[in-house]
Amino acid sequence: MKSHLRTALAVLALAAALSATGCGDSHGAGSPTALDSGIKGRTMVDAGCPMARDHSPCPDRPLSARLTITAGDPQRTVTETTSDTDGHLRIPLPPGTYTIHPANLTGAVTPIGQPMSVTVASGRFITVTIPFDSGIR
Protein backbone atom coordinates (compact mmCIF):
# COMPACT_ATOMS: atom_id res chain seq x y z
CA MET A 1 0.00 0.00 0.00
CA LYS A 2 2.85 2.39 0.82
CA SER A 3 4.35 1.93 -2.67
CA HIS A 4 0.99 2.83 -4.28
CA LEU A 5 0.83 5.99 -2.17
CA ARG A 6 4.41 6.93 -3.11
CA THR A 7 3.64 6.32 -6.79
CA ALA A 8 0.47 8.42 -6.61
CA LEU A 9 2.34 11.27 -4.89
CA ALA A 10 5.15 11.09 -7.48
CA VAL A 11 2.60 11.27 -10.32
CA LEU A 12 0.88 14.27 -8.69
CA ALA A 13 4.23 16.03 -8.18
CA LEU A 14 5.19 15.44 -11.83
CA ALA A 15 1.79 16.71 -13.04
CA ALA A 16 2.14 19.84 -10.91
CA ALA A 17 5.65 20.48 -12.23
CA LEU A 18 4.59 20.06 -15.86
CA SER A 19 1.55 22.26 -15.33
CA ALA A 20 3.71 25.02 -13.81
CA THR A 21 6.11 25.07 -16.78
CA GLY A 22 3.36 25.39 -19.39
CA CYS A 23 3.63 24.56 -23.06
CA GLY A 24 4.99 26.88 -25.74
CA ASP A 25 2.92 27.63 -28.81
CA SER A 26 4.29 28.00 -32.33
CA HIS A 27 5.25 31.60 -31.64
CA GLY A 28 7.21 30.98 -28.46
CA ALA A 29 4.85 32.34 -25.81
CA GLY A 30 4.31 29.78 -23.08
CA SER A 31 1.39 29.69 -20.68
CA PRO A 32 -0.27 26.98 -18.62
CA THR A 33 -3.68 28.40 -19.58
CA ALA A 34 -5.00 29.78 -22.85
CA LEU A 35 -5.03 33.56 -22.82
CA ASP A 36 -7.71 35.53 -24.63
CA SER A 37 -5.50 38.62 -24.93
CA GLY A 38 -2.16 39.55 -26.43
CA ILE A 39 -0.50 40.89 -29.56
CA LYS A 40 -1.07 39.84 -33.18
CA GLY A 41 0.07 41.31 -36.47
CA ARG A 42 2.96 41.35 -38.92
CA THR A 43 6.58 42.32 -39.25
CA MET A 44 7.16 44.19 -42.51
CA VAL A 45 10.13 45.81 -44.23
CA ASP A 46 9.86 48.69 -46.66
CA ALA A 47 10.61 47.50 -50.17
CA GLY A 48 13.62 49.75 -50.48
CA CYS A 49 12.64 51.39 -53.75
CA PRO A 50 14.63 54.61 -54.12
CA MET A 51 11.73 56.40 -55.83
CA ALA A 52 8.29 54.85 -55.80
CA ARG A 53 5.92 56.18 -58.42
CA ASP A 54 2.15 55.87 -58.70
CA HIS A 55 2.41 53.71 -61.81
CA SER A 56 5.13 51.53 -60.22
CA PRO A 57 4.21 50.87 -56.60
CA CYS A 58 6.80 49.67 -54.16
CA PRO A 59 4.88 47.84 -51.43
CA ASP A 60 6.26 46.73 -48.09
CA ARG A 61 7.03 43.04 -47.86
CA PRO A 62 6.86 40.52 -44.98
CA LEU A 63 9.94 39.85 -42.91
CA SER A 64 10.55 37.04 -40.46
CA ALA A 65 11.95 38.70 -37.34
CA ARG A 66 12.93 38.00 -33.74
CA LEU A 67 10.71 39.76 -31.20
CA THR A 68 11.60 40.26 -27.56
CA ILE A 69 8.68 41.38 -25.39
CA THR A 70 9.54 43.26 -22.18
CA ALA A 71 7.51 44.81 -19.37
CA GLY A 72 7.94 46.53 -16.04
CA ASP A 73 10.35 48.99 -14.50
CA PRO A 74 13.09 47.96 -14.80
CA GLN A 75 12.29 46.23 -18.07
CA ARG A 76 12.35 42.44 -17.90
CA THR A 77 11.93 39.96 -20.72
CA VAL A 78 8.45 38.42 -20.74
CA THR A 79 8.90 36.26 -23.83
CA GLU A 80 10.87 35.95 -27.04
CA THR A 81 9.48 34.67 -30.31
CA THR A 82 9.92 34.79 -34.08
CA SER A 83 7.37 35.92 -36.63
CA ASP A 84 6.79 33.37 -39.40
CA THR A 85 8.11 33.62 -42.96
CA ASP A 86 5.07 35.74 -43.92
CA GLY A 87 5.77 38.08 -41.00
CA HIS A 88 2.73 36.89 -39.00
CA LEU A 89 2.84 36.84 -35.22
CA ARG A 90 0.45 35.98 -32.42
CA ILE A 91 1.65 36.30 -28.83
CA PRO A 92 -0.77 35.50 -25.99
CA LEU A 93 -0.14 37.89 -23.06
CA PRO A 94 -2.07 38.96 -19.99
CA PRO A 95 -3.41 42.55 -19.97
CA GLY A 96 -0.70 45.14 -19.44
CA THR A 97 1.78 47.48 -21.11
CA TYR A 98 4.64 45.92 -23.06
CA THR A 99 7.53 46.97 -25.29
CA ILE A 100 8.24 45.00 -28.46
CA HIS A 101 11.94 44.94 -29.39
CA PRO A 102 12.21 43.77 -33.03
CA ALA A 103 15.44 42.46 -34.58
CA ASN A 104 16.15 41.00 -37.99
CA LEU A 105 17.29 37.40 -38.07
CA THR A 106 20.38 37.97 -40.20
CA GLY A 107 22.40 39.79 -37.55
CA ALA A 108 23.07 42.57 -40.08
CA VAL A 109 22.49 46.23 -39.24
CA THR A 110 19.65 46.54 -41.77
CA PRO A 111 16.79 46.13 -41.98
CA ILE A 112 16.28 47.71 -38.58
CA GLY A 113 13.18 47.93 -36.40
CA GLN A 114 12.55 50.29 -33.51
CA PRO A 115 11.05 49.37 -30.12
CA MET A 116 7.27 49.80 -29.97
CA SER A 117 5.07 50.17 -26.87
CA VAL A 118 1.69 48.45 -26.80
CA THR A 119 -1.08 48.10 -24.26
CA VAL A 120 -2.93 44.79 -24.16
CA ALA A 121 -6.54 44.97 -22.95
CA SER A 122 -8.42 42.11 -21.33
CA GLY A 123 -10.16 39.83 -23.83
CA ARG A 124 -8.50 41.39 -26.90
CA PHE A 125 -5.54 40.86 -29.18
CA ILE A 126 -4.11 44.23 -30.21
CA THR A 127 -3.17 44.29 -33.91
CA VAL A 128 0.21 45.81 -34.79
CA THR A 129 2.40 46.21 -37.84
CA ILE A 130 6.03 46.28 -36.82
CA PRO A 131 7.94 48.24 -39.48
CA PHE A 132 11.56 47.61 -40.45
CA ASP A 133 13.61 50.17 -42.37
CA SER A 134 15.59 48.69 -45.28
CA GLY A 135 18.00 51.62 -45.22
CA ILE A 136 17.53 52.22 -48.96
CA ARG A 137 16.59 55.77 -49.85
- pLDDT, one tens digit per residue, over 62-119 is 999 999 999 999 999 999 999 999 999 999 999 999 999 999 998 888 999 999 999 9
- pLDDT, one tens digit per residue, over 44-63 is 999 877 665 666 678 899 99
Whole-number Å distance between alpha carbons of 50 and 120? 36
Phi then psi for residue 61, to 5 deg, are -130, 155
| Domains parsed from the chain with CATH numbers | 2-133 (2.60.40.10)
Model pTM above 0.75: no
CB-based contacts of 127: which residues, under 8 Å, 6+ apart?
40, 41
In the chain, the N- to C-terminal Cα span, in Å, equals: 77
Cβ-based neighbour number of residue 40 at 10 Å = 15
